[in-house]
Amino acid sequence: MARRLPRDEDEWKKRLTPAQYAILREKGTEPAFTGRYYRSKEDGAYLCAACGAKLFSSKAKYNSRSGWPSFWAPVFEAAVSRKEDISTGTRRVEVACRRCGSHLGHVFEDGPAPSGLRYCINSASLEFKSGKKKD
């Protein structure tokens, strides 16, 4: 059964930490090189910290040296939505969780093969689920 999504911002504030709320709901960003998943090399899946939707696989993660966890593709195209963002005065493409609409980061066209894309994602917008099997 899918988790019920909050219906208003007060519910999101109760569910998320202040840092998660600032990023996921207010479109903030964490400082470069500070996120908990920036250097992670563990096998598994990265889920939306707000709603639990599966977004990225560790198989698509790479070190872009940008300061944020980077992926060359989501687990499937419909997992995320993209929208033009000119809030900083430069053209960027915002990436959001398609299920709950929460802000994740941005996607750029300077990534590695096979996609040529760099999904630059805030660690605070993600939860990690290990792919290791328990004995």
> Which residues are marked as active site?
120
The letter for the amino acid at 42 is E
104: alpha, beta or left, given left = phi > 0 and alpha = psi -120 to 50? alpha
- For residue 114, whether the previous peptide bond is cis, meaning omega lies within 30 degrees of 0, is yes
Provide the token pair at 55.
Answer: 């977004």
